[in-house]
């Protein structure tokens, strides 16, 4: 039991999904809702450089004003996390590509007030020097991070002796839970979850380089609007902005709002670029196949990408009632998945065996029937076109609404 709590600690190679935004486009960047998660006056990081080898590596980031920052170390895998106030990252992604001691570098919004840089190290590291220096003209401010190789034991000590009392982390755990609008007793509440967000961009489109987090948010909004047109249905979004939510936060938001359904939306990439079409996933201890297992492993990396501490697997809970609840919830989830696929039949292309299952952490609510819907694949040019097409999104939202209505009718007929 509970194997799906396990986090895959392996970075998947080649998934360096950087947010590419050029300095000259900064004005446009600020105009995009959520570029810095809606902050009024975000810092501007307008330049970045990385130099060095696998023993010492220096990172320099130029800011328009003095950045207040805090640094933390996280183990499994070894990461350095730099927390900042809301920041617009306006330098080309290639200027901060991982090298030297670092094998992966991400940066982006965490919520409205904070941003983060996560440096995943190839081996244990420490910052020998961290400082903000003013540039030659006394105008800009550059954050200099000098990393050096250390041994495993020293890194473990760094992790153990640091304190996490900064506000950035505290703010995240107390952030307001979104509420569905005016829920009446008897309303069927549905949590619509836009996959990824903020520092976790998700997949990147092959052709247009569109980020998965934008595709999922646009579709989530369309779906929630469509569902809310139905009497007795109240849909709400787990996030309505470009912010990061941990997988556990998504589950918690659904449960705290007493959602009767949880639908997580995605549009990932596959190595096999010819594969296209929708897939519906439900949770299971054991994956249905390799494709499902790989996808769940990548999805479950989201917290790690955002510099979250790896949660240890909770001890086996011998609770027969919880076990029964889980089984019942799983049966409902499967029934919803089947309802969705019968709506898609002859209307939307799906992959072979379109109902698959694996240990997705975002589907782990014991009491909320949950599915993860891969709308299509951003690795396929034809799918990518559809995902960006508003009328296609509208059609998909209609079909999903029909599926939800049919599911609800069958649950009510069975006294659920």
> Which residues contribute to the site for Zn ion (CB under 5 A)?
195, 202, 266, 268
- Classify the C-alpha dihedral 350-355-357-363 as positive or negative: positive
Q: How far is the CB of 81 from Zn ion (least distance, A)?
A: 22
Alpha-carbon separation of residue 61 from 49, 65, 133, 383 (angstroms): 7, 12, 10, 37
Three-class SS state of 28: helix
Ranges of beta strands (E only) in 135-246 are 141-149, 188-194, 233-237
Q: How far is the CB of 256 from Zn ion (least distance, A)?
A: 23
Ranges of beta strands (E only) in 255-383 are 261-266, 278-283, 350-358, 370-374
Gap between the Cα atoms of 312 and 274, Å rounded: 37
Q: State both tokens at 112.
A: 């409205």
Closer to Zn ion by CB, 42 or 195: give it.
Answer: 195
Closer to Zn ion by CB, 197 or 202: give it.
Answer: 202
Q: How far is the CB of 195 from Zn ion (least distance, A)?
A: 4
Given a contact cutoff of 8 angstroms between Cβ atoms, the answer to whether 120 and 96 are in contact is no
Q: How far is the CB of 200 from Zn ion (least distance, A)?
A: 9
Among 100, 125, 162, residue whose Cα is nearest residue 309: 162
Q: How far is the CB of 398 from Zn ion (least distance, A)?
A: 23
Closer to Zn ion by CB, 270 or 337: give it.
Answer: 270
Length of the chain counted residue by residue: 416
Closer to Zn ion by CB, 289 or 319: give it.
Answer: 289
Closer to Zn ion by CB, 48 or 372: give it.
Answer: 372
Residue 409, Cβ density class (10 Å: 0-12 exposed, 13-18 middle, ≥19 buried): exposed
> Which residue number is nearest to Zn ion in terms of Cβ?
266
Q: How far is the CB of 213 from Zn ion (least distance, A)?
A: 8
Q: How far is the CB of 7 from Zn ion (least distance, A)?
A: 16
Given a contact cutoff of 8 angstroms between Cβ atoms, the answer to whether 37 and 81 are in contact is no
Q: Virtual CA dihedral for 246, 247, 249, 252, nearest 10 degrees? A: 180
Closer to Zn ion by CB, 12 or 179: give it.
Answer: 12
Neighbours of 187 (CB within 10 A): 15
Given a contact cutoff of 8 angstroms between Cβ atoms, the answer to whether 278 and 348 are in contact is yes
Given a contact cutoff of 8 angstroms between Cβ atoms, the answer to whether 145 and 63 are in contact is no
Closer to Zn ion by CB, 202 or 307: give it.
Answer: 202
Closer to Zn ion by CB, 266 or 408: give it.
Answer: 266
Q: How far is the CB of 362 from Zn ion (least distance, A)?
A: 9
Q: How far is the CB of 264 from Zn ion (least distance, A)?
A: 8
- Classify the C-alpha dihedral 52-56-61-66 as positive or negative: negative
Closer to Zn ion by CB, 109 or 265: give it.
Answer: 265
253 sits in which H/E element: helix 247-256
């Amino acid at each position: 039991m509970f194997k799906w709590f396990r986090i895959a600690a392996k970075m998947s190679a080649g998934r360096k999904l950087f947010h590419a935004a050029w300095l000259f486009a900064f004005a446009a960047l600020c105009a995009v809702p959520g570029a810095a998660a809606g902050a009024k006056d975000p810092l501007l990081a307008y330049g970045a450089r990385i130099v060095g080898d696998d023993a010492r590596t220096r990172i320099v980031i130029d800011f328009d004003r003095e950045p207040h920052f805090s640094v933390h170390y996280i183990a499994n895998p070894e990461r350095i996390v730099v927390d900042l106030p809301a920041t617009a990252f306006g330098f080309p992604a290639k200027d901060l590509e991982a090298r030297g001691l670092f094998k992966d570098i991400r940066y982006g919004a965490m919520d409205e007030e904070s941003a983060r840089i996560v440096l995943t190290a190839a081996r244990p590291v420490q910052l020998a020097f961290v400082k903000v220096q003013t540039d030659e003209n006394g105008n800009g401010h550059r954050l200099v991070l000098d990393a050096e190789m250390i041994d495993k034991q020293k890194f473990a000590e760094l992790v153990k002796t640091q304190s996490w009392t900064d506000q950035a982390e505290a703010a995240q755990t107390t952030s307001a839970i979104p509420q569905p609008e005016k829920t009446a007793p008897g309303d069927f509440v549905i949590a619509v979850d836009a996959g990824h967000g903020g520092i976790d961009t998700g997949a990147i489109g092959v052709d247009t380089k569109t980020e998965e987090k934008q595709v999922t948010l646009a579709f989530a909004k369309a779906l929630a609007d469509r569902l809310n047109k139905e009497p007795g249905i109240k849909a709400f979004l787990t996030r309505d902005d470009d912010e990061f939510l941990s997988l556990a936060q998504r589950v918690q938001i659904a449960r705290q709002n007493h959602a009767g359904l949880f639908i997580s939306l995605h549009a990932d990439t596959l190595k096999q670029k010819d594969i296209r079409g929708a897939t519906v996933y439900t949770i299971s201890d054991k994956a249905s196949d390799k494709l499902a297992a790989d996808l769940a492993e990548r999805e479950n990396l989201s917290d790690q990408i955002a510099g979250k501490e790896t949660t240890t697997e909770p001890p086996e809970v011998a609770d027969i009632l919880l076990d029964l609840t889980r089984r019942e919830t799983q049966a409902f989830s499967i029934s919803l998945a089947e309802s969705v696929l019968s709506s898609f039949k002859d209307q939307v292309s799906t992959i072979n065996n379109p109902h698959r299952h694996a240990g997705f952490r975002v589907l782990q609510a014991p009491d909320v029937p949950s599915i993860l819907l891969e709308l299509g694949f951003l690795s396929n040019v034809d799918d990518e076109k559809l995902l960006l097409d508003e009328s296609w999104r509208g059609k998909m939202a209609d079909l999903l609404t029909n599926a939800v209505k049919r599911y609800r009718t069958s649950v009510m007929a069975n006294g659920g």
